[in-house]
Amino acid sequence: MLENKAQLRLVKGDEATHEPYTIAMGPQHPATHGVLKLDLELDGETVLECKPTVGFLHRGVEKLAENLSYAQTLPLTDRLDYIASMANNVAYSIAVEKLLDIEVPLRAKYIRTMVMEMARLTGHLLWLATHALDIGAMTVFLYCFREREILLDMFEEICGARLTTSYTCIGGVRQDVTGHFLESLYDFTEDFPSKIKEYETLIDKNRIWLKRTQDVGIVSAEDAVSLGLTGPTLRGSGVDYDVRKHMPYDAYPYVKFEVPIGSKGDVYDRYRCRMEEMHQSNSIIRQCIEALPTGPIRAADAPDLVMPYGIQKKVAADATFSSGIIKLVKDSERYIEGDVYVAAEVPKGELGFYFVSDGKGVPYRMHIRSPSYIHIGALSFLCKGQMVADVIAIIGSVDVVLGECDR
């Protein structure tokens, strides 16, 4: 309906009665979710051209990583998608583990899956809160932050930080989970489906919400794949692509879950996908708690990267206790030339790390394939011919965070 209207306007734009004009939206704008600048060329309220400008938050993570050891780069990944940093930690760790061929113990795999799904919940809750706020539903914001707060407190309990967690390490996780943590998380998962219902009663059948989201920002399945969209943004268009199913990592092969997909590819479908995903994440967390095995939480054969678990002899031989620092053994067999690309499904989409190693303790090249970057690149395609007010809805529905985009 709206699209037809927009096309009508475009035809009229050729007439000399009115001329197109340009406005700059951002970089300081509450609805752009960070320092994103959009140069909108408008005809009345119809967007003729949308040119996103990014890079305001560029910190050169890739260049820094070339000069830091694998373990030292891990805290930098917190600052990519700071909304769900746990997911970034896991994505980085599995990539390095693939490059260095490290086998992670089963308990660590389950814990990682658990925290990754918790990160997905925090990410989706913040997305729902801000997306609804942008469209005009203020109350949802407060409801979502209520639950997000509980999850962040739990992050604090296991690693001491709420946002910049750095919880995983290469070869496992840093600290073991406590019984209290598991109990409180299990209690949370029992309540949480009813909380999702609460959000849905607020907006799911709300007439204003439906008018703002249905048939807005439609992207076909073919275009979505061609644009490189991933995650719920792609699945809203009906493409069944989830890295957790296609290239399973950690404990995802051992848990049961479904991948919700949409049909039409509009803002509403993407919203529904994420809501369903929260149910699935909730169920994955429950399964992980129920099946959590006992055992070590760090790989025993990654001595240069973590404190070894159960091979104290090797450390003692190389330890320089006089200076008060334990020098870890470098296992040169692990560092061989080669390259890998490993992806993980973070709340925003497919976060991939491409590593080139030249056999040294630092990566020769690290490239981050960040979903937000690709999604913002797709904005000019998505916003063409839409109304200005719908641009806000579309930015919200593709779910971007600029820390990850600019790296």
Q: Which residues bind another protein (CB under 8 A)?
A: 54-55, 58, 60, 62-63, 67, 98-99, 101, 223, 225-229, 239-241, 246, 337-341, 343, 350, 352, 354, 356, 358, 364-365, 367, 369, 373-374, 376-378, 381, 406-407
Query: Please, what is the minimum distance in Å from the beta carbon of residue 35 to another protein?
Result: 12
Query: Please, what is the minimum distance in Å from the beta carbon of residue 343 to another protein?
Result: 7
Residue 203's SS3 state is helix
Residue with Cβ nearer another protein (161 or 356): 356
Verify cis geometry, omega within 30 degrees of 0, for the bond prior to 75.
Answer: no
Task: Give 303's contacts (C-beta < 8 A, 6+ positions apart).
Answer: 311, 314, 315, 328, 329, 330, 331
Q: Could you tell me which of 170, 106, 122, 98 has the C-alpha nearest to residue 343?
A: 98
Distance CA(106)–CA(192), nearest Å, equals 27
Query: Please, what is the minimum distance in Å from the beta carbon of residue 248 to another protein?
Result: 11
Do the beta carbons of residue 303 and residue 317 sit within 8 Å? no
Output the CA angle 158-161-167, nearest 5 degrees.
55
Residue with Cβ nearer another protein (145 or 364): 364
Residue with Cβ nearer another protein (57 or 300): 57
Residue with Cβ nearer another protein (44 or 238): 238
- How crowded is the C-beta side of 211, counted as CA atoms within 13 Å? 6
Residue with Cβ nearer another protein (174 or 375): 375
Do the beta carbons of residue 112 and residue 168 sit within 8 Å? yes
Query: Please, what is the minimum distance in Å from the beta carbon of residue 299 to another protein?
Result: 16
Query: Please, what is the minimum distance in Å from the beta carbon of residue 87 to another protein?
Result: 17
To 10 degrees, the CA torsion angle through 131, 135, 139, 143?
Answer: -10
Q: Could you tell me which of 244, 239, 247 has the C-alpha nearest to residue 223?
A: 239
Residue with Cβ nearer another protein (22 or 226): 226
Distance CA(171)–CA(263), nearest Å, equals 39
Query: Please, what is the minimum distance in Å from the beta carbon of residue 374 to another protein?
Result: 6
* Tokens matching residue 20: 């197109």
Residue with Cβ nearer another protein (204 or 331): 331
Query: Please, what is the minimum distance in Å from the beta carbon of residue 371 to another protein?
Result: 11
17-42 burial: b if 16+ Cβ within 10 Å, else e: eeeeeeeebbbebebbbbbbbbebeb
Distance CA(2)–CA(160), nearest Å, equals 48
To 10 degrees, the CA torsion angle through 194, 344, 175, 149?
Answer: -30
Query: Please, what is the minimum distance in Å from the beta carbon of residue 318 to another protein?
Result: 27
What sign does the dihedral 342-267-223-55 (CA atoms) show?
negative
Query: Please, what is the minimum distance in Å from the beta carbon of residue 68 to another protein?
Result: 11
Residue with Cβ nearer another protein (154 or 234): 234
Q: Which residue has the tokens 């967690």?
A: 165
Query: Please, what is the minimum distance in Å from the beta carbon of residue 71 to another protein?
Result: 19
Q: Could you tell me which of 169, 185, 182 has the C-alpha nearest to residue 297?
A: 169
